Amino acid sequence: MVNRLNWDIFYSAIIISSMYCFGLAMGSSVISTLLDYKFNWQSQGKKRLVWGIIITVVYVVTVILLIDYYLLVKLQNLPFEHFFKGQYLWMHLFYIVLSLGISAFFHAKGSMQALKVALTQKALLENQNIASQYEALKNQVDPHFLFNSLNVLSSLVDENPATAHKFINRLSYIYRYVLDQKDKELVSIEEELDFAEQYVFLQKIRFEEGVNFSSEIDASRMKDLIIPLAFQILLENIFKHNIISDEQPIFISIKTQDDYLVISNNINKKSIRQPSHNLGLENIKARYKYFTNADVIIDETPEQFCVKLPLIPNL
């Protein structure tokens, strides 16, 4: 049997199999991996599917024809005019259909993995939202916050009833807004900005000229989205960690910059710092990862603290 074995045929079979295996199976796997890296199945599913079909079909057809041309025309001296005729045409089509089926497997595998990740992220997001709601409610019902608000209110009732009435309305708005966000994953900048203005109003009554607030939001970005209660967490941190008075005022700025919403303030650190574990900032970062690949940027200098939140288009 060994004597009858044609080693040239054996080596040729190994080479031909390798050409199809690495040229098609490995190539399709690489294409699928690169497309998964380029396009997110969750947010860019249609684009991922269209590009996957186009690139895969072009690649498979090109590679099949090149391999068949090399084997038939170059090695077996088949006249080129017969290359697309009769049994050879059916052979090309068979290999193309088989290879597209293999490619579809790799793309389906990537889709299933993305779905698995999405389900995991959704579960994590729900946990983060629960933590966020608890943290927000805890901060707002914090005894110091209530005590200070009620103190201000009691002094306003006799001195300035009209302002006291406004104070009560803004305070009730803040609590109502926090409760309304419990089932939302994203809110518009417009909603969060309105909340920030109400919150700062209460602080201005308390600290008077010690609080300065400005906003420069591009009108075209007002409907863009961010995670709910992000402003509540960031503003609470500002008033928690800084000295605020007429002599040492705090300047808070909210503005749009490229594809980010930038919240910044000057730093007047308290001599006795309250304990902080950055849970609020970590919560914001974790929830953002579900909606975008862009990072939450935290920039701190001795003079200024700045947080940049990625803007999510409202499609």
Cα dihedral 221, 222, 225, 231, rounded to 10, equals 120
Q: Give residue 189's pLDDT.
A: 94
Assess whether 215 and 96 both reside in one domain.
no
Assess whether 163 and 302 both reside in one domain.
yes
Domain count, the chain: 2
- Residue 241 and residue 273 in contact, taking contact as beta carbons nearer than 8 Å: yes
Lowest mean pLDDT across 17-21, 181-185, 272-276? 272-276
Question: Average pLDDT of 304-308?
Answer: 95
Assess whether 163 and 299 both reside in one domain.
yes
Query: Could you tell me if residue 129 is inside a domain?
Result: no
Assess whether 166 and 107 both reside in one domain.
no
* pTM reported for the whole predicted model: 0.55
Assess whether 269 and 237 both reside in one domain.
yes
Question: Which burial class, exposed, middle or buried, applies to 311 when counting CB atoms under 10 A from its CB (0-12, 13-18, 19+)?
Answer: buried
Choose one of 84, 119, 154: the last residue of a domain.
119
Rounded Cα distance between 230 and 135, Å, is 11
Q: Give residue 261's pLDDT.
A: 95
Assess whether 114 and 166 both reside in one domain.
no
Assess whether 205 and 302 both reside in one domain.
yes
Confidence of residue 190 (pLDDT cuts 50, 70, 90): very high
Query: Could you tell me if residue 156 is inside a domain?
Result: yes
Above 60 in pLDDT, residue 79? yes
Above 70 in pLDDT, residue 204? yes
Assess whether 162 and 112 both reside in one domain.
no
**Which residue range forms the structural domain that includes residue 90?**
7-119
Assess whether 68 and 146 both reside in one domain.
no
Assess whether 235 and 279 both reside in one domain.
yes
Above 50 in pLDDT, residue 192? yes
Q: Determine how many CB atoms are found less than 10 A away from the CB of residue 285.
A: 16
Lowest mean pLDDT across 145-149, 185-189, 281-285, 298-302? 145-149
Q: Greater confidence, 265 or 114?
A: 265
Q: Give residue 2's pLDDT.
A: 46
Above 80 in pLDDT, residue 44? no
CA of 41: how far to CAs of 100, 138, 290, in Å? 20, 36, 13
Assess whether 192 and 269 both reside in one domain.
yes
Assess whether 73 and 150 both reside in one domain.
no
**Between β-strands 211-216 and 250-257, what pairing exists: parallel, antiparallel or unpaired?**
parallel
DSSP one-letter code for 23: I
Query: Could you tell me if residue 256 is inside a domain?
Result: yes
